[in-house]
Copies of this chain bind each other. A is one copy, B any other.
Amino acid sequence: MQRPPANGLNLEFLTELTILLEKLEDDHSCRGMVLTSSLPGIFSAGIDMGELTLTASHGPEHVTAFWRALQTFIINLYQSHLVTIATITGHAPAGGCLLSLACDYRVMAAGNFTIGISAVRAGLFPPAWIQMLLSDIIGKRQAELSILQGKLYSPEEALQLGLVDKVVPETDMMSAAESELRQWLQVPDAARILTKSNLRRKLLQAFEHNREREVEEITRFIQTDSFQNNLKEFMQNLKNKKR
């Protein structure tokens, strides 16, 4: 990922990522991939909050299109028949964390970085399938505590919790990912793909069942005054921190 300054997820970027993933999946010589960032110190800041800010030229229809693109990329990544490794090379709050959760394995760089499903901090609530995705990885109780308080964890805390699978020095990220990838690819493809698809069916069914309703709910929620006010305050706080 290389969308300065922070790999923020907007409609255009998510569409590009979706097309790129499709190309890799159509390439029969490709059996695995590494999702990484070429921006220093940041994996992805998650949703570009501009996408959720309503303006005259940027109405609810845009939010609807954006949310559909987010759903599509995350779910395609989650059910990819490729082996997918995330190298979390820096901060990964909210949607940045989500990108990594959709992969098969997570390697995080040691350092002063944070990761977590911090959506409630911006007044946003993660839909049921994202809660399920996190619960499947760190257990229901820790997911609940984590989501309800929008917690952000250090790499060491994330490792302890099972939110990431390995923490290595920044310079060793790619070699750690490659060695992990090689290990996963020892299993025969047919058995691995069928097994992965079986393991993930339940979440995918829950997601599909609620897909359109979720888009409607989010679109409606984004338009409430209370959300737009929370968002303004949240973005103001971020700006103040940076100064």
Contact = CB atoms under 8 A, between A and B. Distances in A.
Interface of A: 104-105, 119-121, 123-128, 131, 135-141, 143-145, 147-150, 162, 165, 183-184, 186-188, 190-192, 194-196, 198-199, 201, 221, 224, 226-227, 230
20 contacts: A104-B148, A105-B145, A120-B187, A120-B188, A121-B187, A124-B191, A125-B191, A125-B198, A126-B195, A135-B140, A136-B144, A137-B140, A138-B141, A147-B195, A148-B192, A148-B196, A150-B187, A188-B226, A188-B230, A190-B230
What are the 5 tightest A-B residue pairs by CB atom distance, in nearest-first order? A125-B195, A136-B140, A125-B194, A120-B191, A123-B188
Contacts of A227: 190
A195 B141 contact: no
Contacts of A137: 140-141
Contact of A226 (B141, B148, B190, B195): B190
Contact of A120 (B125, B126, B192): B192
Contacts of A135: 140
Contacts of A141: 136-139, 162
A91 B120 CA distance: 35
A148 B198 contact: no
A151 B230 CA distance: 45
Nearest to A189: B226
B199 A123 contact: no
A202 to B, nearest CB: 8
Nearest to A230: B188
Nearest to A197: B125
A127 B150 CA distance: 32
A199 to B, nearest CB: 5
B136 A198 contact: no
A199 B187 CA distance: 33
